[in-house]
Amino acid sequence: MLGKSKSDGTNYVRDSSTVQQTPRSAVGSSAVPEVSSISSGLSIVGKIVGHGAVTIFGHVEGELHASTVVIAEGAQMEGDVVAEELTISGHVKGTIHANRVKLNSTAVVEGDIFHRTLAIEENARFEGTSRRDENKIDAPSRVQTNRAQPQAASSDGNRKGNGAPGGPSP
């Protein structure tokens, strides 16, 4: 009986490995989009970078970069938001850079909005400036660009003194 279950197990493992390989490649090729959320009982301080959709139900203090961002009713965001698409139903205090911004009726925004399109529902509150920006915002590539700059600055940080840039010191 043990011999029979081993042979059945071996066949099962072979079958499952071929079955697992097919869905993994399908999932990796964008069959299922990445969705992350911060629940209502959670507070985060720092920088959040998402390559898919991010939904905030809790409290975030810092920077948020993602392709699609939803700030739900009751959620609080304090800091800068960079997204391709942003929908706000909660409270945001900071600067917003997004291609498409929608303020739902329960939204409260204190800060500047740089956008390509902006929709504000009745009863939404917005205190700040709104500027139309023709440049398309691509959240993931913008984050990678920002990461490269500090690395370049740290490689130049070996200079001593405040001499002229590029000139030799005597």
Per domain, the residue ranges of the chain are 35-136
Residues 6+ apart with CB under 8 A from 12: none
Q: What 3-state DSSP class applies to 31?
A: helix
If phi > 0 it is left, if psi is from -120 to 50 it is alpha, else beta; for residue 9 that is: alpha
Please state the separation of Cα 150 from the chain's center in Å: 20
pTM value surpassing 0.75:
no
The pLDDT tens digits for 123-147 are 999 999 999 988 777 765 444 434 4
The pLDDT tens digits for 18-75 are 333 333 334 444 455 678 999 999 999 999 999 899 999 999 999 999 999 999 999 9
